Amino acid sequence: MKLPIKEISPKKIYNFLTKYYRWILVIIFILLICFNAFIYYQYIYLAVRARPESQGKEVAIDQETLEEVLENLNLREENLSRVKKTRYASPFE
């Protein structure tokens, strides 16, 4: 037994949408509100509640590496200040 398949015409779709567009908009709005509530719960509420607590362990810093990083920063700052002070000839003059 073969079931008859009704062909849906654009006129029928247009009539359906004009008749039920308010309900469709309400359903979309409710789904958006639910989706936003889920996102708020997942990414804000749970993240704030599960905030990791400090365990009181001290962080050990390698002194040599720290000094090396600070030297690199000072060298970069010196290079930057030197470049800012230097007047270069303009090719457009």
Is a pLDDT exceeding 90 seen at residue 33? Answer: yes
Q: What is the pTM of this model?
A: 0.43
Res. 1 pLDDT band, cuts 50 70 90: low
Per-residue pLDDT, 60 = 80
pLDDT tens column, 36-87: 999 888 888 777 777 767 666 777 888 999 999 999 999 999 999 998 888 8
Contact in structure between 50 and 43 (CB atoms under 8 Å): no
Three-state SS across the chain? CCCCCCCCCHHHHHHHHHHHHHHHHHHHHHHHHHHHHHHHHHHHHHHHHCCCCCCCCCCCCCHHHHHHHHHHHHHHHHHHHHHHHCCCCCCCC
pLDDT at 92: 83
